[in-house]
Amino acid sequence: MKDKKLRLGILGLGEGRSTISAALSSPKVELVKMCDLNIDVCKQRAKEFDFHDYTTKYEDLLNDASIEAIAIYTPDHLHASHIKLALQHDKHVVCTKPLIDDLKDAAELIEIQKKTGKKLFVGQSSRFFQPMKRQRMDFEDGLIGDLVTVEAYYNADHRWFLEKPWALEDSFKWLYGGLSHPVDFIRWYLPEVEEVMGYGMLSENGKKGGLKNYDTMQFIYKSKDGRIARVGGAYSGPVQPVQRDSEMSCILRGNLGCSQGDYMDLRYAITDKDGEERMITWEHKLKHFFRFEGKSHHAGEYENYLNYFADSIQKDFTAYPDLIEGIGTIVLLKAMERSLASGKPEKTSKIIQEFGLEEYLQ
């Protein structure tokens, strides 16, 4: 049927709250059931959205034959096992970032996906924000010419996040939880990074909050074709006023022009190939992107990506980032982690080999 809606189940209702809102307002998605281990969270969301089909058992989503796709928003270290179960139960999958935080399951996930033929899409929200969509379109239209270098960053005062119990576990790393956003920008424009070098530290604020791993990091990258890029992030201290600087930003420097997408601020600026300078904002889209308190959530981006994913199933094309592209980003994050430990440049090819991914990734 042509205009059939994608029947969706949502797992994890913290940030999954944005996905509930996105699914309920999307013309292409039908929310069937939502799930959280914590019954109080289920009840809170049911009341907030007046949507009462919830469960505390993941099996209830997995065994519901009417659910075609599962959207996963559980803590980072649980994504691999939750994805595996969804694929094994013949469901398409949307998984939030970071796709996984360890490569030990990567080859198995690829094999399971191949066997089941189901689609997996990484909910890499930052690509689906208006300024970043516009930046990509202008880049593809040749407005800045050939890309020379990329600079991306994501800094945020995320001390509030440390109230979540899993944020203080050894397994939680801002490297994966935070830098996966700007690192995805690097891979979007320079997919073939072969080497990375970086430094990191755990700040006094982070230590005080109980964090176990680095909260402050800077990296530089070299691509196979010689082009270079850089990424940075700091997560336990105040940030600049939004009029002066964005929390998350991507700068593309081309041979003919330059552009910058500012994430939360719905702001984009370009000096194009004809020497024209433009600054664009989307005030009228504020209500699409931000629906609850302030700008602390991602409902608008999620609706954009759910629509794209639903189209990919309806029209049978691949929605990107897919599993292979997503694992490529985790390979790069792993090389970054190695560089933090060794204090030396690290090659992505070494990581690919170590985790037996040569036949899947170049």
Ligand X SMILES: NC(=O)c1ccc[n+]([C@@H]2O[C@H](COP(=O)([O-])OP(=O)(O)OC[C@H]3O[C@@H](n4cnc5c(N)ncnc54)[C@H](O)[C@@H]3O)[C@@H](O)[C@H]2O)c1
- Nearest residue (CB) to ligand X, 126 versus 223: 126
Task: State which of residues 37, 39, 137, 279 lies at the interface with ligand X (CB under 6 A).
Answer: 37
Taking the complex as a whole, the smallest distance from the CB of residue 163 to ligand X amounts, in Å, to: 9
Q: How many CB atoms lie within 10 A of CB 66?
A: 9
Taking the complex as a whole, the smallest distance from the CB of residue 32 to ligand X amounts, in Å, to: 16
Stretch touching ligand X by CB under 6 A, among 11-19, 185-193, 252-260, 340-348: 11-19
Phi, psi dihedrals of residue 23, rounded to the nearest 5°: -65, -40
- Nearest residue (CB) to ligand X, 169 versus 194: 169
Q: Is 296 in the site for ligand X (CB under 6 A)?
A: no
Q: Is 74 in the site for ligand X (CB under 6 A)?
A: yes
Residue 358 C-alpha from the chain's centroid: 24
Number of chain positions touching ligand X (CB under 6 A): 24
Closest-by-Cβ residue to ligand X is 14
| Cα 247 from Cα 245, distance rounded (Å) | 7
Q: Is 33 in the site for ligand X (CB under 6 A)?
A: no
Phi, psi dihedrals of residue 168, rounded to the nearest 5°: -100, 5
- Nearest residue (CB) to ligand X, 11 versus 193: 11
Taking the complex as a whole, the smallest distance from the CB of residue 55 to ligand X amounts, in Å, to: 9
Q: Is 21 in the site for ligand X (CB under 6 A)?
A: no
Give 1-5 contacts, CB < 8 A, sequence gap 24+: 2/314, 4/314, 5/29, 5/30, 5/310
Taking the complex as a whole, the smallest distance from the CB of residue 99 to ligand X amounts, in Å, to: 9
| Cα 356 from Cα 325, distance rounded (Å) | 16
Order of strands across the sheet with 258-262? Answer: 277-281, 267-271, 258-262, 248-254, 147-154, 228-234, 216-223, 193-201, 346-347
- Residue 228, both tokens: 């270079």
Which residues lie below 8 Å from residue 239, measured CB to CB, with a gap of 6+? 155, 156, 157, 245, 247
Q: Is 125 in the site for ligand X (CB under 6 A)?
A: yes
Q: How many CB atoms lie within 10 A of CB 275?
A: 8
Task: State which of residues 47, 164, 208, 278 lies at the interface with ligand X (CB under 6 A).
Answer: 164
- Residue 107, both tokens: 């080859």
Burial label, 107 (beta-carbon count in 10 A; 0-12, 13-18, 19+): middle
| Cα 337 from Cα 346, distance rounded (Å) | 9
Task: State which of residues 36, 68, 184, 272 lies at the interface with ligand X (CB under 6 A).
Answer: 36
Of 239-258, binders to ligand X (CB under 6 A) are none
Stretch touching ligand X by CB under 6 A, among 9-17, 279-287, 310-318, 340-348: 9-17
Residue window 77-106: x/- pattern of binding to ligand X, with contact defined by CB under 6 A: -x-----------------xx---------
Stretch touching ligand X by CB under 6 A, among 36-44, 250-258, 313-321, 336-344: 36-44
- Nearest residue (CB) to ligand X, 114 versus 164: 164
- Nearest residue (CB) to ligand X, 42 versus 196: 42
- Nearest residue (CB) to ligand X, 166 versus 360: 166
Q: Is 290 in the site for ligand X (CB under 6 A)?
A: no
Residue 317 in contact with residue 40, Cβ under 8 Å?
no
- Nearest residue (CB) to ligand X, 272 versus 325: 325
Q: Is 13 in the site for ligand X (CB under 6 A)?
A: yes
Task: State which of residues 22, 28, 75, 83 lies at the interface with ligand X (CB under 6 A).
Answer: 75
DSSP 322: B
Of 182, 69, 79, the residue nearest 124 (C-alpha): 182
- Residue 14, both tokens: 């913290």
Residues that bind ligand X (CB under 6 A): 11-15, 35-38, 41, 58, 73-76, 78, 96-97, 123, 125, 164, 166, 177, 298
